Structure 1
């Protein structure tokens, strides 16, 4: 059979969510009465008051790119990297919630209800969110604060003895993270991170995402090809291929690919996609990242809005894991806490699986003209992210320098 006759396995058009509706108004977010954070279903969710999440997330997305740039320059320069700004935001919001930050809680409520709702029962992405709070037994918590943590954030709440059993608590938190991630996230908190003298709280957030491509790749078309490294050598890795039209736009010096995920039958408020940012030059990712992190509104201003015919089209399969102490990277932001994150992500012909866990340990306190055909061959370092397009919420972001390595 001629390979060009092989098709990506696409959903029926009734389920396809096309971005061609560029000039149409954004759909309104749902409104409701009940908050469900740990894997809610879409039919159970309503939102008590309207918040301009889109406006809030525009700023959050700029912050997300800024933080990505910080992490890359500090601990992941010229190496594979992935992290979750959504998970960091969740754990910091939970830590600040008992201090009366109502606006933060309102934004979290809307994101939890719309973005982080589980859509797997209706054929959409599987999303699970689990929160945990460990508080020293010597401290007291007001009934309203405890109610906020347990009923609003749906957090597992534990009172523990940090003073005499700090190491035991550290191991319990790591076990909790491992159990919640089906063994994907292990040894999140390193030895010595939980100190008996000054640890009063640990806030944990686990976020799981599993999405199937709207148009799955034909596994028989996956072939090993060279991926070019910065040192001038190359490695042979499996590349997924397709001859179907794709959401691609060429800009000055780089291209952007959007791969939509399959949406649920009743999922009218959300559109998840994975984005690939590919510099034209094989060693151009550093300059592209500098441009992305320094340009306000970069993400919203560089979204492929229509499908184009493709010439050569290849993206590598990869599976990577990355963990770091975020508080050291962001020390100039004066967090005054210890913040750890570990993320695992895998993409293949079917879709994407990603898992992140955060632990906060603290004290009490310009597009080109539309081409007829376009190549997109991701055979050199590129940046990627997973985003919910209606609100603009970035769930995961990272970069690939060598897809043959897992870290």
Structure 2
């Protein structure tokens, strides 16, 4: 949404480069395909439940033409609200946080810190994604038992591990192993969702593995697991958040701040995940009419 609608050329170019796209038209075409195929709710067909919602809050004193509003509401399916940032910034911040909480079933709250929305804010973009899938081969509750789990600080804790004796996808590579857990897809033949787990052989090897994944082109496609009979993984629930504005630091875009939070839980039946992001822009639009 930012690349397609912002008048800030530096920001638009950065987004296109980051997403490896040559133009906003190409980016919009990719978005259209993802929205119409990947992000369609499959729960009525026996597949994963998927929900996506976008939102836009823009300063009411700025001129907005009908084509931009149509782009938000009909193409991105993003409800468009003109709000009073100049005199009611904190109230708008609470409204946005309430929107985030409502669209994540109350699991993600206060994503935008108090004070980060000010009278200089022109626009806020929001995006929330919900996923709930059932394993193709569920784990048996009776096989779940406590085992040792190693932490990054070199200590360990006892946590419940799920165990399977059914055929699953695991493969060992140099320094790490990969597990693939497919989700039930029902009668959906156009797509297949799976969760991948990457486990370093060394107890302190996670940072090096993440670095290798991020720096090696085609890493995921070149490390595909094969079937095995027995394995175990821990049940877990995690939540994390961070201010992603440092991604824009090299551009010296002080007018942009970005916040991201995610929540994930897996158990014997399947996995549930939610993620939400907001981009807060100040002075990107100025006072000119958007086109």
1:263-292 deviations in whole A, cap 9, x for unaligned? 031x11111110011111111112212211
Any unmatched runs of 5+ in structure 1? 1-93, 366-407
Aligned equivalent of 1:323: 241
Aligned equivalent of 1:382: none
Aligned equivalent of 2:151: 229
Distance of 1:334 and 1:113 partners within structure 2: 35
Question: TM-score, normalised to structure 2's length?
Answer: 0.88
Task: Say which SS state the counterpart of residue 171 (structure 1) adopts.
Answer: helix
Distance of 2:50 and 2:59 partners within structure 1: 30
1:212-235 deviations in whole A, cap 9, x for unaligned? 100010011110111122443210
User: Is 1:356–2:278 an aligned residue pair?
Assistant: no
Task: Say which SS state the counterpart of residue 86 (structure 2) adopts.
Answer: helix
User: Is 1:204–2:134 an aligned residue pair?
Assistant: no
1:38-60 deviations in whole A, cap 9, x for unaligned? xxxxxxxxxxxxxxxxxxxxxxx
Aligned equivalent of 1:184: 107
Task: Say which SS state the counterpart of residue 165 (structure 1) adopts.
Answer: helix
Aligned equivalent of 2:228: 308
Structure 1 residues 330 and 249: CA distance shift in structure 2, 3 A: farther
Distance of 1:236 and 1:343 partners within structure 2: 24
Distance of 1:232 and 1:177 partners within structure 2: 36
Aligned equivalent of 1:143: 66
- Show the 5 A alignment for 1:4-403: 94-98=1-5, 101-196=24-119, 198-265=120-187, 267-304=188-225, 306-310=226-230, 313-332=231-250, 336-363=255-282, 364-365=284-285
Distance of 1:261 and 1:357 partners within structure 2: 22
Task: Say which SS state the counterpart of residue 216 (structure 1) adopts.
Answer: coil
1:381-403 deviations in whole A, cap 9, x for unaligned? xxxxxxxxxxxxxxxxxxxxxxx
Question: TM-score, normalised to structure 1's length?
Answer: 0.64
CA positional deviation for 1:187: 0.4
Task: Say which SS state the counterpart of residue 201 (structure 1) adopts.
Answer: strand
Aligned equivalent of 2:10: none
Distance of 1:278 and 1:270 partners within structure 2: 26
1:141-176 deviations in whole A, cap 9, x for unaligned? 111111010001111111100000000000000001
Q: Is the 8 A contact 2:154 2:204 kept in 1?
A: no
Corresponding pairs, count: 267
Task: Say which SS state the counterpart of residue 174 (structure 1) adopts.
Answer: helix
